[in-house]
């Protein structure tokens, strides 16, 4: 029996995880659920799974949840704050932590799970993007097990040999190929990108995701962040990681070997598949996803990414090569830029401009502790907010 803490249970990854757990009740028990502020969704999850703990970052939401649970007669204890997130991630009875909180808010609890030696199902990009060195050291020191549940990294994990301390090159790996859908604007004229609305940017053609990650997919910053994640997860240098656009989102990623073999992982675009793989690993368990019908799928196509259309991808590669401080600034600036775009204060084409500007203002620095990361992150956010003010009014981002 695995006992789980799910960090970010009300988001799309959290909801998909709970769907898989419901299909396999003899294997899993929910100990703690955690979210930012969606007490209504968290209440429904508590009714369904009756966890020992429920954590919210928003005090008002936590108070509302406590009243609802008391009225329902449920024993779940409501906690509030970042320190409580860290506590439920490291509870002695918890064996498995699903790290799915979006943004830098997920960093400390995910690191707490790593330090406590848990089995970690990682969807929180920021833990590797901003703190890759610290995070991987914590994994090694504690003996924690790290399993990626992003579809692309999970695919790579499945296609790689078990490294057992060997380098990729020693195992015959020539390169890692991360697939990308290309998002909703892959074929749009470049001249129209400045007029993209938030509604258009969050309408992903293949995946059902949250608003922030949907915008990241539209700019392909999500793929840039995944390149950085792959660098840490698989000890792969930037030149060994390539991105290929695959609009059908059936091939989730590939690994090419020195003998010319290419091993790919395929499946319908459903996050329950990689989640079930990681939950059951090394066994296989039902996910609830539809099985892939290749005859019905038809043609699969691939193309190289256009860096003029997707400058965020180039900026991410540049930041990875520049070092940890640049990557922290990249992530922080992107979070601010996406939030400002969704609030219609900057245009879609302003997002990469703002990110590159903030990264250029961030000097190289040595990162030795999480406080260093948070300091650089705070400075980058302030630089990004200041930069937004100088970008001017967006063009035609008020439509539906």
Domain's final residue, options 148, 171, 189: 148
Arithmetic mean of pLDDT, 77-88: 96
The average pLDDT across 120-125 equals 92
Q: What's residue 300's pLDDT?
A: 94
Same domain, 94 and 177: no
Q: Which of 34-43, 206-215, 233-242, 327-336 has the lowest mean pLDDT?
A: 206-215
Task: For residue 235, give every residue at least 6 positions away whose Cβ sits within 8 Å of its Cβ, in sequence order, or none.
Answer: 163, 167, 168
- According to the model, what pLDDT value does residue 393 have? 56
Assigned domain for 276 exists: no
Average pLDDT over every residue of 367-391: 93
CB–CB of 126/331 below 8 Å?
yes
Maximal C-alpha separation, the chain: 64
Residue 20: pLDDT above 60?
Answer: yes
Q: What is the pLDDT of residue 102?
A: 80
At 203 the pLDDT is: 83
Residue after which a domain boundary falls, among 148, 173, 193: 148
Domain hosting 174: range is 156-269+290-297
- CATH number assigned to the domain comprising residue 24: 3.40.50.720
Phi, psi of 80 (to 5 degrees): -145, 135
Print burial letters for 190-228: b (CB count within 10 Å at least 16), e (below 16). eeeeebbbbebbbebebbebeebbbbbbbbbbbbbbbbb
Q: Which pLDDT tens digit goes with each residue over 130-173?
A: 999 999 999 999 999 999 999 999 999 999 988 766 789 899 99
The whole-number pLDDT of residue 400 equals: 36
Residue 127's pLDDT band, with cuts at 50, 70 and 90, is confident
Of 90, 91, 103, 47, the closest CA to residue 72 belongs to 47
Q: Are 206 and 142 in contact (CB under 8 A)?
A: no
- Mean pLDDT (whole number) for 376-386: 96
> For position 389, what pLDDT does the model report?
86
User: Exposure of 175 by Cβ count < 10 A (0-12 exposed, 13-18 middle, 19+ buried)?
Assistant: middle
Residue 29 lies in a domain: yes
Average pLDDT in the chain? 93
Question: Taking a C-beta distance cutoff of 8 angstroms, is the pair 65, 44 a contact?
Answer: no
141 Cβ partners below 8 Å, 6+ apart? 115
Same domain as 37, residue 101: yes
Residue 279 in domain = no
Residue 17, in any domain of the structure: yes
**23 and 53 inside one domain:** yes
Q: What distances in angstroms separate CA 122 from CA 17, 102, 106, 369, one per listed residue?
A: 12, 11, 10, 21
Domain identity same for 16 and 144: yes
pTM of the model: 0.91
pLDDT at residue 233 tops 80 = yes
Angle between helices 211-219 and 350-360 (to 10 degrees): 90
Q: Collapsing DSSP states into helix, strand and coil, what is residue 6?
A: strand
Indicate whether 239 belongs to any domain: yes
Do 170 and 264 belong to one domain? Answer: yes
Counting the structural domains of the chain, the total is: 3
pLDDT of the residue at 350: 96
Q: Judge whether 49 lies within some domain.
A: yes
pLDDT of 16: 96
Tell me: do 336 and 215 sit in the same domain: no
CA 261/CA 385 separation, integer angstroms: 47
Parallel, antiparallel, or unpaired for β 262-266 and 251-257? antiparallel
Task: Return the pLDDT at 397.
Answer: 43
Q: Is residue 221 part of a domain?
A: yes
Degrees, nearest 5: CA angle 264-267-271: 115
Mean pLDDT for 108-127 is 94
Residue 26 Rama label (left phi>0; alpha psi -120 to 50; beta): alpha
| Residues written for the chain | 400
- Overall average pLDDT of the 42-54 stretch: 98
Write down which residue in 148, 175, 198 finishes a domain. Answer: 148
Indicate whether 242 and 191 sit together in one domain. yes
Quick one: what percent of the chain has pLDDT higher than 70? 96
Indicate whether 6 and 144 sit together in one domain: yes
Whether pLDDT at 396 is above 50:
no
Question: What six digits make up the tokens of 129?
Answer: 């993007």
Q: What is the mean pLDDT of residues 243-271?
A: 96
> Do 140 and 164 sit in the same domain of this protein?
no
Would you state the pLDDT for residue 164? 65
Residue with tokens 């259309």: 309
Q: Which of 118-132, 159-173, 187-201 has the lowest mean pLDDT?
A: 159-173
Residue 306 covered by a domain: no
8 and 98 both lie in a single domain: yes
Is 187 found in the same domain as 123? no
Residue with tokens 């509302």: 64
Residue 143 and residue 12 in one domain: yes
């Amino acid at each position: 029996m695995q006992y789980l803490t799910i960090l970010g249970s009300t988001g799309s990854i959290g909801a998909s995880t709970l769907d898989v757990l419901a299909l396999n009740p003899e294997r899993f028990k929910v100990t703690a659920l955690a979210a930012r502020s969606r007490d209504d969704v968290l209440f429904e999850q508590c009714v369904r799974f009756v966890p020992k703990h429920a954590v919210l970052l928003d005090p008002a939401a936590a108070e509302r949840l406590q009243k609802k649970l008391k009225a329902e007669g449920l024993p779940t204890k409501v906690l509030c704050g970042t320190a409580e997130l860290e506590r439920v991630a490291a509870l002695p009875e918890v064996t498995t932590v699903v790290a799915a909180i979006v943004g830098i808010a997920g960093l400390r609890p995910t690191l707490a799970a790593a330090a406590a030696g848990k089995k970690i199902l990682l969807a929180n990009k920021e833990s590797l993007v901003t703190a890759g060195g610290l995070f991987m050291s914590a994994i090694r020191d504690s003996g924690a097990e790290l399993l990626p549940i992003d579809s692309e990294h999970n695919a790579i994990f499945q296609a790689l040999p078990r490294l057992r301390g060997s380098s990729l090159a020693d195992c015959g790996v020539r390169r890692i190929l991360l697939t990308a859908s290309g998002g909703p604007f892959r074929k749009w004229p470049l001249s129209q990108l400045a007029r993209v609305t938030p509604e258009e940017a969050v309408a992903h053609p293949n995946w059902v995701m949250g608003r922030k990650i949907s915008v990241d997919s539209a700019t392909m910053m999500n793929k840039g962040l995944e390149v950085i994640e792959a660098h840490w997860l698989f000890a792969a240098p930037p030149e060994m990681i390539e991105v290929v656009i695959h609009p059908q989102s059936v091939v989730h990623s590939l690994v090419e070997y020195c003998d010319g073999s290419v091993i790919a992982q395929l499946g319908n675009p459903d996050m329950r598949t990689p989640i079930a793989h990681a939950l059951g690993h090394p066994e296989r368990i039902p996910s609830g996803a539809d099985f892939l019908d290749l005859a019905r799928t038809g043609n699969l196509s691939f193309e190289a990414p256009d860096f003029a259309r997707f400058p965020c991808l180039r900026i991410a590669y540049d930041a990875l090569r520049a070092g940890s401080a640049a990557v922290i600034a990249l992530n922080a600036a992107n979070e601010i830029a996406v939030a400002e775009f969704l609030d219609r204060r900057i245009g879609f084409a302003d997002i990469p401009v703002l990110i590159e500007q903030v990264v250029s203002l961030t000097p190289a620095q040595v990162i030795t502790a999480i406080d260093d990361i948070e300091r650089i992150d705070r400075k980058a956010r302030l630089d990004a907010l200041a930069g937004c003010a100088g970008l001017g009014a967006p063009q035609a981002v008020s439509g539906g």
